[in-house]
Amino acid sequence: MKRVYVNEKWCLGCHLCEYNCAFAQTGKEDMALALKGKQIHPNIRVEDGDNIHFAVNCRHCDEPLCVKSCITGALSRDENGVITIDKEHCIHCYTCILSCPYGAIVPSEEGAIQKCELCIKTTQGTPRCVAGCPNNAIVFEER
């Protein structure tokens, strides 16, 4: 399946992916309108070290520990391999946060967890974080 791959050699730590993700989640047309004055809650997060930067989001594992551990069945793997969250079902126990080896699942403002779903619910084609990356540090491809 196509996944978001990270090439930290080219990551500038600009954090645009985080904003593009937050923007994609709103479903609005204009980023200023969508994010002005708001705290963002992206599903992709950049880790910054001394001259090291890289973005981390859900790896959509073939053996997803989060899905296997979810006590409600709110997390599932769809027919394309995308791991999706049914927020209605989630009861905020955070067993998935306990399970994810990459720290790619976070609580949302409302309590239910949120995670990268490759923009399947908001945009089509290329995930917005990848489309907005200025340096090809994240790419969306089959490997």
In the complex, what is the shortest distance from the CB of residue 82 to other proteins, in angstroms, rounded to a whole number? 16
* C-beta of 98 vs 120, nearer to other proteins: 98
29 belongs to the binding site for other proteins (CB under 8 A) = no
Site string for other proteins, 46-75 (x = CB under 8 A): -xxx-xx-xxx--x-----xx-xx-xxx--
Long-range contacts of 121-127 (CB under 8 A, 24+ apart): 121/84, 122/24, 122/25, 122/27, 123/24, 127/4, 127/21, 127/24
As a whole number of angstroms, the distance between CA 85 and CA 134 comes to 29
According to the binding rule CB under 8 A, does residue 129 interact with other proteins?
Answer: no
Count of chain residues binding other proteins (CB under 8 A): 61
Positions that interact with other proteins (CB under 8 A): 3, 5-10, 12-16, 19-20, 23, 30-32, 35-38, 47-49, 51-52, 54-56, 59, 65-66, 68-69, 71-73, 88-89, 91-103, 105-106, 132, 134-137, 143
